[in-house]
Copies of this chain bind each other. A is one copy, B any other.
């Protein structure tokens, strides 16, 4: 008997991490088309926006509306980034399936990004957990430990501090935790070491790897994490995204290239690559002049390509 291909979840973060970092404001109607077509292509987890004040990130000002639309798509897990309790309350009210709280392991980045120290973010996480529990909702809380491999502002970020915060996030009430190479400093060796340690701390509550392709290593880093059994990765269509603290940095792992790698390796993503490539072309059309990335769109699928499922 043939074994079934192992599932791997590719979580689309282009609508949040991607769009927040480019100047173009994509109209809400286009975002709803993106959502609908990603869902039709088989994408089942999408970070739809950020619950931050619209004036801070005008590109994501329509997050509530996008989230409401996401909730109409069967089987779609819609997450929102929340920087604090106020954002979490908004995400809960909107019916998000998952709240992602970013926590920078770099103190300098944490202060620049959220105006809080990492430990103050942990305290806020406790308040978010209490609010979630009080709401009676099934909404999950994920704490994403960012700048886990170093920081443009601070430089080195000790692994011991990353792991302390990972444990702290679990203790403070996160349902699950993830690691992010926010500025593209990671390499596959560093990923192997830190993810292995993180898995020892968090076990099955360790849920996702988030890699930026700033220096071209995102997919090699995914490969290293895959080998440890990690089965969820963030990625962005056309690789859009970046980090305001990393000038000149390119974006996230590219969704279509990542799905191609996973399916070629025999992992089942559930995603139809031809449909995804067609959507990619439309997304690129909505952000004229912005930097986009990836390789598969140019070369196309190999004639020998078969999806894993």
Chain A residues with a Cβ under 8 A of chain B: 150, 152, 155-156, 183-185, 187-190, 213-217, 219-220, 222-224, 246, 248-250, 254, 257, 260-261, 264-266, 294-296, 298-300, 302-304
> Shortest beta-carbon distance, A183 to chain B, in Å?
8
Known contacts A190-B264, A302-B150; decide if A257 and B217 are in contact (CB<8 Å). yes
Known contacts A216-B257, A219-B219; decide if A250 and B189 are in contact (CB<8 Å). no
Known contacts A298-B250, A299-B246, A303-B152; decide if A264 and B189 are in contact (CB<8 Å). yes
**In the docked arrangement, what's the CA distance between A156 and B304, Å?**
6
**In the docked arrangement, what's the CA distance between A156 and B302, Å?**
10
Interface-central residue, A216, A265, A300, by most chain B CB under 10 Å: A216
Known contacts A220-B219, A254-B216, A304-B150; decide if A188 and B299 are in contact (CB<8 Å). no
> Shortest beta-carbon distance, A299 to chain B, in Å?
5
**In the docked arrangement, what's the CA distance between A304 and B299, Å?**
34
Chain B residue nearest to A242 (CB atoms) is: B299
> Shortest beta-carbon distance, A194 to chain B, in Å?
13
Give the residues in chain B near A223, CB-CB below 8 Å: 188, 220, 223-224
Q: Please give the count of copies of this chain that the complex contains.
A: 2
**In the docked arrangement, what's the CA distance between A184 and B246, Å?**
30
**In the docked arrangement, what's the CA distance between A85 and B257, Å?**
40
Chain B residue nearest to A222 (CB atoms) is: B220
Give the residues in chain B near A156, CB-CB below 8 Å: 304
* 6 interchain pairs, CB-CB under 8 A: A188-B261, A216-B260, A216-B261, A219-B220, A223-B223, A248-B299
Q: Is the CB of B296 within 8 A of A216?
A: yes
Known contacts A215-B299, A216-B295, A299-B215; decide if A155 and B304 are in contact (CB<8 Å). yes
> Shortest beta-carbon distance, A281 to chain B, in Å?
14
Q: Is the CB of B185 within 8 A of A304?
A: yes
> Shortest beta-carbon distance, A195 to chain B, in Å?
14
Q: Is the CB of B302 within 8 A of A185?
A: yes
> Shortest beta-carbon distance, A143 to chain B, in Å?
24
**In the docked arrangement, what's the CA distance between A214 and B303, Å?**
14
**In the docked arrangement, what's the CA distance between A260 and B219, Å?**
14
Give the residues in chain B near A213, CB-CB below 8 Å: 295
> Shortest beta-carbon distance, A276 to chain B, in Å?
14
Q: Is the CB of A217 within 8 A of B261?
A: yes
Q: Is the CB of B220 within 8 A of A261?
A: yes
**In the docked arrangement, what's the CA distance between A250 and B216, Å?**
14
- Identify which of B184, B220, B257, B296 contacts A299 (C-beta below 8 A): B184
**In the docked arrangement, what's the CA distance between A216 and B238, Å?**
12
